[in-house]
Amino acid sequence: MIWLSERARSKYCTPQEEIVKAVEMVHENKRCVPPNIAQRLFETIAREELSQRELEVLTLVAMGLTNKEIALRLFISDKTARNHVASCLVKLSANDRTEAATTAIRRGLIRVAE
């Protein structure tokens, strides 16, 4: 038998009440989704879809390009590039360009070549 410390038990073990509740829910043909999974699902469902152009812009942001460089690369105005970046920030609930890029990479929305 393996004995866990109180700290390890609280970190890795599900309280008995939660297990009983989950079994009862499944028995009633209901879904039981752990809170951490529910949060990730909510983040995925709640966000608006990024357009193909926004994904292109976000990839260039992740590569470190400025709005002006993005505009030149995509043959759009600086203002349009800025608007696309701003839209990405809103849709990804990001505070800045770096957070938007890392969030997009983490969610598998964009890939940046190494």
* pLDDT for position 7: 60
The pTM (predicted TM-score) of the whole model is: 0.61
Query: Stretch 12-32: mean pLDDT, rounded?
Result: 81
**CA-based nearest residue to 97, from 85, 105, 108:** 85
Full DSSP string of 38-107: HHHHHHHHHSPPPPHHHHHHHHHHHTT--HHHHHHHHT--HHHHHHHHHHHHHHTT-SSHHHHHHHHHHT
Q: Which of 16-30, 45-59, 66-80 has the highest mean pLDDT?
A: 66-80
* pLDDT for position 47: 59
Q: Which domains does the chain have, with CATH numbers?
A: 14-45 (no CATH), 50-106 (1.10.10.10)
Res 58 pLDDT > 60: yes
* pLDDT band at residue 11 under the 50/70/90 scheme: low
Q: How far apart are CA 47 and CA 26, in angstroms?
A: 29
CB 60 within 8 A of CB 73: yes
* pLDDT band at residue 9 under the 50/70/90 scheme: low
Query: Stretch 56-81: mean pLDDT, rounded?
Result: 97
